[in-house]
Amino acid sequence: MRRAALTAACAVWVVTAAAGQGEERALDAGVYSAVQGKRGKAHYDAFCAPCHVGDLSGTLAADTGAPPLRGAPFMTSMEQKGVAAVFDYIKATMPADDPASLEDDEYLDILAYLIQANGFPAGARELTAADLPRVRVRRAAAH
């Protein structure tokens, strides 16, 4: 009897864990909220704009300066490395003068703003750390 109960409990746990992982979420399906994007812009302006410039164009010249955070090179990086890896990189290295000094929620808000600034729509709920491994960049189909 105990073995059957243990087996049933394990089965419930596996199903629950699998359900918790959820499906992949595409950036174009709205992975952040508008409010989160607005907060992210405020954090970006305070912590990122001094190097990456207010319009996210960056100051990159050769191998020095801050890279742009808007446009094809940034989106290619997100697509190739994954949104979670980009988040981890930003968190570990930014701001350049005080890396890893912000709260996780502030980094998530900034990432939401970067997604917004790259033309992806807001959705109904905020982007969370748990969402990051499932978020995917999908390129628009060629017409």
Tell me what pLDDT residue 1 has: 45
Give residue 66's domain range. Answer: 24-136
b/e 121-143 (16+ beta carbons within 10 angstroms → b): ebbeebbeeebbebbbbeeeeee
What's 121's domain CATH number? 1.10.760.10
Q: Give 139's pLDDT tier (boundaries 50, 70, 90).
A: low
Q: Is 7 part of any domain?
A: no
Q: What is the pLDDT of residue 6?
A: 35
Task: Quote the pTM value.
Answer: 0.81
How many domains does the chain fold into?
1
pLDDT at 29 over 60: yes
pLDDT at 14 over 80: no
* 134 to 3, 17, 68, 71, 142: CA distances (angstroms): 35, 14, 24, 22, 24
As a whole number of angstroms, the distance between CA 44 and CA 46 comes to: 5
In a domain, 16, yes or no: no
pLDDT value at position 74?
94
